[in-house]
Structure 1
Amino acid sequence: MKICTHLFGILSLSAILLLAGCGLNNNTASTNGGNASVTPSNAAEATSTPSAEKLKVKTSFYPIYEFTRNVAGDLADVENLVPAGVEPHDWEPTPQDMTGITDADVLIYNGAGMEGWIEQVLDSAGDHLIAVEASKGIEMMEGSEEEHEEEDDHAVEEEHDHGELDPHVWLSPRLAIQEVRNIEVALAKAAPQHADAFKANADAYVTKLEILDQDFRDELKDTLRKDFITQHAAFGYLAKEYGLTQVPIAGLSPEQEPSAAQMAEVVKFAKDHNVKTIFFETLVSSKVADTIAAEIGAKSAVLNPVEGLTEEDISNNLDYVVVMKQNLESLKTALNE
């Protein structure tokens, strides 16, 4: 009798262990999405995400972000430093921004004095960071150079706070192409295994920019006038590329207030040349342009330096190409008045 009881205990214990083993297998399958055939090595592969292999890229402000995003495609996590709706000229990185830059693989910036903070960042970043000046190799315009093609006593002298160079190269689609190519080279250096993909992405985006460039050439070559007044001296490269004359109210910084003498000179120029539109821009106050427009009986309109998108722009799916097409329409209208 004792032997039977002992034998029954052994069988019961075996059954419990067998059931426990089955339960363990069921739990493992559930953890792996219900697939009982997942091995430890397969599970490790299943939990590794493509994002773990992506480049971490920081960009300085909107146009550089847009160019980089199009070249990188889904092979990099691209994050912009300047937030939406913030004017980038006087933006400074926070300690949190500095940490993010230090953790990145690549930092892409415009250069030519646009990012006054860049030297501080590069001095503190680690050797692993690949820093790329997107405007490298582009022939820069002097910031103090007169934008006017006419020999006119009413030309407005500019005062600048960006140093010697005008950084606004992205406003010429042809020069934007050069920035895109510089970004392509940088990403290929950081991830050579994806060089072909970066080139294909860059080629596709450059095609869009080439079409945009041709649209500007075709639609601005026969306008009735060639001069335009803008609140911010951001359009020198665009004007030079397409045979126009930029007459800026103030200098390279949109926050710069023109002197009374500068205002008077622009008003006189506008009256003498029968200017009917004064351009202002997004992200900054339009009061200076509005004041001059009211003085001469003209209207004011937006000419966007594409230095940043607002939250509304983003919600409306605007991007560099779309905004530049809007600029083309605004210029075409004003130059044919």
Structure 2
Amino acid sequence: MNFKSSLFAFMLVLSSFLAACGGQDEAGDSSQTEGTEEESSETLELYTTIFPLEDFANKIGGEYVNVTNMVPVGADAHTFEPTARQMIEVAEGDAFIYNGAGLEGFVDALINTVENEDVAIVQASEGIELIDFDQDSAHGHEEHDHENEEHGHEEDDHEHEEHGHEEDDHEHEEHGHEEDDHEHEEHGHDDEDHDHAHDHDEDPHVWLDPIHSITLAENIKATLIELMPEQEEYFTTNFNQVKEDLEALDNEFQAMADEANKDTFLVSHAGYGYWEERYGLKQVGISGLSPTNEPSQRQLQDIIHFANEYEINYVLFEQNITPKVAQVVQDEVGAEALYLHNLEALVEEDVQNGEDYFSLMTKNIESLRTALQ
């Protein structure tokens, strides 16, 4: 009886042990399954500064990214300043993707804040050859050689005298010192900092050129692959589709430019220099690279004179910028209003309509088609 009792007790303990082991195995299997599910649903937290970067990142990253654009709907990337909370969020993310080329005045401060954190800092415009920006050309001064010829030598001499000698000091003071001091104060930079668009050396609006946008998208793709190499094929496939669509958009743009009767358009701010470089379309910007760079009284008179002489029938306004000086020009010239989308940031109507980079650029082509007829 004692032996049977001992054997029964041993079997009971052994059964309990085996059951416990089985339970642990099941728990282990369950934990492993949950881990696999978590891994498959992992997403990268990306922060961008302008809408094209947000759109390209979403299109390439697909289900593996969560993209937050820092510049709010309806805002202007030239003058936007992030909050302390936004900087903390960037520091906690996987990548901060910015245009560069001097567009975002806040970038240096943000990078200094997050540089020691585990977040990738990506300048999307890296590898793009930037074009120089000529403030005088943007405001319609010596815009084209044929313009100088048709205005005549007397007007040229008059303009050269006023803009080259008598007014140089005034304009340099107005545009080179007073506005620079204001902008450097606004963005927190030193006078010696020449890496920003407000110095008017280089045009940062590279995303408006579909071919340059391929480089932006490619830099985003490379970042995603570096952060999540196991999804390289997925990211590459999506990038190839974006590239194909950008090349098709470039063809549409070129066809419109080839069919146009005119090659010059009047726009509220001079952010469209890459269209001249790519398609031969020439802008006369009422404001400079930044919408805050308003023209002098003399420049304003020259713009109105130019628009009247060359029968410019439209003033192109932008979705998030309505400078009063552009409305003055429209009234003086008796021109109609059209709209270009600079794509820096969406407005609420764009969000409601589900617009993306390609739909907005297609609308730009149609606006230009009308303006250049």
Band of TM-score, shorter chain: 0.7 to 0.9
User: Structure 2 regions of 5+ residues with no counterpart?
Assistant: 1-24, 164-170, 176-196
State the distance in 2 between where 1:104 and 1:163 align: 32
**2:102 and 2:204 in contact (8 A); partners too:** yes
1:143 aligns with 2:138: no
Which residue of the partner structure matches residue 371 of structure 2?
334
Deviation of 1:287 (Å): 2.9
1:40 paired with 2:12, answer no
Higher relative contact order (CA 8 A, sep 6+): 2
- In terms of mean alpha carbon deviation, does 48-57 or 172-181 score higher? 48-57
Q: Deviations over 1:144-165 (max 9, x none)?
A: 3636343434899995624521
Is the Cα contact below 8 Å between 2:267 and 2:317 reproduced in 1? Answer: yes
Q: How far apart in 1 are the matches of 2:119 and 2:132?
A: 30
Structure 1 position 83, deviation (Å): 1.3
Contact 1:162 1:252 in 2 (8 A): no
C-alpha distance 232-226 of structure 1, shift in aligned 2 (>3 A):
same
CA contact (8 A) 2:291 2:323 kept: no
2:304 is equivalent to residue 267 of structure 1: yes
Q: CA deviation at 1:256?
A: 2.7
Post-superposition offset of 1:80: 1.0
Q: Distance in 2 between matches of 1:77 and 1:61?
A: 15
TM-score by length of 1: 0.83
**Equivalent of residue 279 in structure 1, options 316, 335, 351:** 316
What TM-score comes out, normalization by structure 2 length?
A: 0.75
Deviation, structure 1 residue 255: 2.8
**2:110 aligned partner:** 121
Aligned to 1:109: 98
2:122 aligned partner: 132
1:96 to 85, 106, 112: 85
Specify the alignment match of 1:25 in structure 2. Answer: none
CA contact (8 A) 1:114 1:162 kept: no
Percent identity between matched residues is 33
Alignment of 1:227-246 (within 5 A): 227-246=264-283
Distance 1:285 1:225 in 2: 25
Determine whether 1:294 maps to 2:289: no
Contact 1:68 1:78 in 2 (8 A): yes
CA offset digits 1:172-227 (Å, max 9, x no partner): 11111111111111211122221221111100111111111100011211211100
Matches within 5 A, 1:179-190: 179-190=216-227
For the 8 Å contact 1:232–1:252, the answer to whether it is kept is yes
Q: 1:79 is matched by which residue type in structure 2?
A: T
**Is 2:102–2:198's contact at 8 Å kept on the other side of the alignment?**
no
> Within the alignment, does 1:152 sit opposite 2:147 as a pair?
yes
Other-structure match for 2:235: 198
Deviations 1:52-108 (A, max 9, x none): 622111111211111111111111111111111111111111110110110011111
- Specify the SS of the correspondent of 2:284: strand
Distance 1:42 1:163 in 2: 62
Tell me the CA shift for residue 288 of structure 1.
2.4
Larger helix fraction of residues: 2
Name the amino acid aligned to 2:27: P
One-letter amino acid matched to 2:370: T
3-state SS of paired residue (1:185)? helix
Instruction: Provide the secondary structure at the position in 2 that maps to 1:140.
Output: coil
Q: Which residue of 1 aligns with 2:284?
A: 247
> How far apart, CA to CA, are the structure 1 residues paired with 2:59 and 2:145?
39
In structure 2, the CA distance between the partners of 1:60 and 1:250, relative to structure 1 (3 Å rule), is: same
Contact 1:226/1:244, CA 8 A, preserved across alignment? yes
Query: Which of 180, 184, 205 is the matching residue for 1:168?
Result: 205
Gap regions ≥5 residues in structure 1: 1-37
Q: Supply the AA of the counterpart residue of 2:64.
A: L
How much has 1:297 moved relative to structure 2?
1.6
Give the secondary structure class of the aligned counterpart of 2:316. Answer: strand
Q: Which residue of 2 aligns with 1:15?
A: none
Partner of 2:190: none
Aligned to 1:67: 56
Q: CA RMSD in A?
A: 2.4
The residue type paired with residue 150 of structure 1 is D
Q: Deviations over 1:230-278 (max 9, x none)?
A: 1111000022211111111110112332221121110000011010001
